[in-house]
Structure 1
Amino acid sequence: MTKLLHVLFAPGLFTDASVGNAILIGTVVAIISGVVGVFVVIRGQSYLGHALGDFGATGASVSFLLGLAALWGFLGGGFIAGAGVDVLGQGHRRRGRDVTTGVIHAFVMGLGALFLYFDTTYTNTTGAPMTILFGSIFLIDPKLVPTTVILGVLTLVLLLVLYRPLLLSSLDADLAKARGIPVRWVSFLFMCCMAMAVSQSSLVIGALLSTALLIGPAATAIRLTKRTGLAMILSAAIGTMATWLGIVLAYDSYDWPPTGRGWPVSFFVTSLVLLFYLISRFRRQQPVVARRPKEESSMKEVVTHGYRMEHNS
């Protein structure tokens, strides 16, 4: 038994403080991303979720210049640019919102390239691009752990408050307006939830890959159940499993070629998320997909069924 444990887990895994911090932060981020991600998929805002990661990367590059923690840059960049997308995209259909997101996305990415150039040219933070773009969960400052947990709790509380109006407005915005729901404010507050989820995910697997925890587990969960609440639980569980396994494999890879380097956590987490998604596609095909080939139609049926089930319960 002991030999088997040594094969599965490298020595020191359970006593290393950095691993403990990584597991705690990774768990919080996976749960938040999984829960928020279900609504991201239902609302068809996957592109905005990806863009928020890049927005945050620009903010993080500014925080490196100012000597601040990357988390604050991720949050600031995500909030500011995300608010701009939400305001300018109001009143447009999905295609119009995507165009607005694309225009702002390109501009903010240009700013990010400029600030990363300043980071590597005028400061001593030569590892800033790798840290921002691909994450470094084992090197996160332990002082940020309580902050990350608090932000995670706030995100969950906000989403819990928004749950029913957000579910209805995701299904039918006109019906939500007729029932007196402030759809515009609900959309803006949900964008704030997305920004907080993506910002924390960027700490774990980097800005470029943060969408993996936001979209992958949620898309997998939605294929397994039509109930929105259950999909959120499954999504959080899938993301947590991928994160835990990713941390263990990254720690074990220290002895893999090239010896003494270790493979990045982001590679393992994104690979596992993809694997779970592929398994869900082969394991079960929802009848609604066969009846309605368009993914948007199937997502609408999922949220309709979930709203009716949970509204009546």
Structure 2
Amino acid sequence: MWDVLVSPFTEFQFMRAALVSVVFLALSAAPVGVFLVIRRMSLMGDALSHAVLPGAAAGYMLAGLSVPAMSLGGFVAGVVMAVLAGLVSRFTTLKEDASFAAFYLSSLALGVLMVSRGGNNVDLLNLLFGSILGIDTPSLALIACVTSVTVVALAIMYRPLVLESIDPLFLRAVGGKGSWWHLLFMLLVVLNLVAGFQALGTLMSVGLMMLPAISARLWSQRLGLILACSAFIALLCGYGGLLLSFYIEIPSGPAIILLCGLVYLLSVFLGKEGGLVAQWVRGRHKKA
């Protein structure tokens, strides 16, 4: 059993690098996803992950497979889309989710066209789905930096962010500057999506952010436990996905996200807070 579970990571450096990247992403992206869930902004994470693609494609076309160029391009593109979607919702009758949907669909199409014109199918697949087993030192350093910034920022922002998520009117009434906390939080989301796309691609990175967070919400109502549970689920699925990709030769990114999806389905049925079984048991107790 030890050989099956541990030997791939002790024998192969690329497996160790992939596991380290999963640990970093689990500690940062999953907790950020929890705040997206409690703020009812789950689909905006998906929209922003697609918005990163044109910027990453522009960086690729200018500098090739350069981590700084693609990361900077992806970050700028994500921030620009978030700002534009907010402005459209502020000055028109469209809601913010509709603005995000319009921008992210356009961004995805633009990014695919840019990579198709400037590269090849392999480059396009790497940008869309990532290659965590081929992650290099600069990408790993970027993910580590983003994780450090995210953990520190969430610790500083925790109280006002919780208040802004639950009761924004109260925070505004006491002069809490909720709009600034919202903006800083959206920057954290974009940062984590940029870090995630280095390993999992633009289409898969949001999966590690959202699926563990949604699953964790079905197991507890205490925010601290939800944050810890989401990180644990992301880490467990990342570890299991890497083992699956090693032994049965399937793409590692989709394997990780598929395991996250299976944990979500399990949580839907067995989760203590809102799962189908728990609600059925409570219903029987009420009738009794």
**TM-score, normalised on structure 2?**
0.87
| 1:166-181 pair list within 5 angstroms | 166-181=161-176
Query: Cα deviation per residue 1:240-261 (whole Å; 9 max; x = unaligned)?
Result: 11011111111112xxxxxxxx
Name the CA shift for 1:135/1:161 in 2 (closer, same or farther; >3 Å): same
Higher helix share: 2
Which residue of the other structure, out of 174, 178, 199, is the alignment partner of 1:204?
199
One-letter amino acid of the structure 2 residue matched with residue 283 of structure 1: L
1:215-254 matched pairs, under 5 angstroms = 215-253=210-248
- Summarize deviations over 1:72-102 as a string: whole Å, max 9, x none: 3332322222233244435889x70111112
Identity percentage over the alignment?
25
Deviates more, 1:14-23 or 1:82-91: 82-91
Aligned residue in 2 for 1:101:
100
**2:36 touches 2:42 (CA, 8 Å); kept in 1?**
yes
Q: Is the 8 A contact 2:268 2:274 kept in 1?
A: no
Q: How does 1:22-37 map onto structure 2 within 5 Å?
A: 22-37=18-33
Kindly provide the CA deviation profile for residues 148-183 of structure 1, in whole angstroms up to 9, marking residues without a partner as x.
211111012112211111111111211110121111
* Number of positions where the alignment pairs a residue of Structure 1 with one of Structure 2: 274
Q: Distance in 2 between matches of 1:166 and 1:237?
A: 22
Counterpart residue type for residue 243 of structure 2: V
Corresponding residue for 1:256? none
Q: Which amino acid in the other structure matches residue 27 of structure 1?
A: V
Name the stretch that deviates more: 199-208 or 226-235. 199-208
Q: Contact (CA 8 Å) 2:142, 2:195: kept in 1 or not?
A: no
- 1:271 paired residue number: 258
AA at the equivalent of 1:58: P
Task: Please say if residues 65 and 118 of structure 1, whose CA atoms lie closer than 8 Å, have aligned partners that are also in contact.
Answer: no
The one-character-per-residue Cα deviations of 1:127-160 (angstroms, maximum 9, x if unpaired) are 2111011010111221332222111110121122
* Cα distance in structure 2, aligned partners of 1:40 and 1:204: 21
Separation of aligned partners in 2, 1:97 and 1:13: 44
Contact 2:56/2:71 (<8 A) preserved: yes
What residue is the counterpart of 2:14 in the other structure?
18
Alignment-mate amino acid for residue 181 of structure 2? V
Q: Does the aligned pair in 2 maintain the 1:83–1:191 contact within 8 Å?
A: no
CA RMSD of aligned residues (A): 2.4
TM-score (norm 1): 0.80
1:127 aligns with 2:118: no
Letter in 1 for 2:189: M
1:136, 1:264 → 2: CA distance?
8
CA contact (8 A) 1:223 1:284 kept: yes
Aligned to 1:50: 46
1:84 aligns with 2:84: yes
Cα displacement (A) at 1:289:
9.1
| Structure 1 position 156 matched with structure 2 position 159 | no
1:252 corresponds to which letter in structure 2?
Y
Aligned-pair distance for 1:29? 0.8
Structure 1 residues 204 and 169: alpha-carbon distance in aligned structure 2, compared to 1, 3 A threshold = same
Equivalent residue for 1:165, pick from 134, 137, 160: 160
Structure 1 residue 12 displacement after superposition: 4.8
Cα 1:106/1:268, change in 2 over 3 Å? closer
Instruction: Give the match for residue 281 of structure 1.
Output: 268
User: How far apart in 2 are the matches of 1:250 and 1:221?
Assistant: 25
Q: 1:41 pairs with 37, 41, 47, which one?
A: 37
Counterparts in 2 of 1:239 and 1:229: CA distance versus 1, 3 Å: same
Secondary structure of the corresponding residue to residue 77 of structure 1: helix
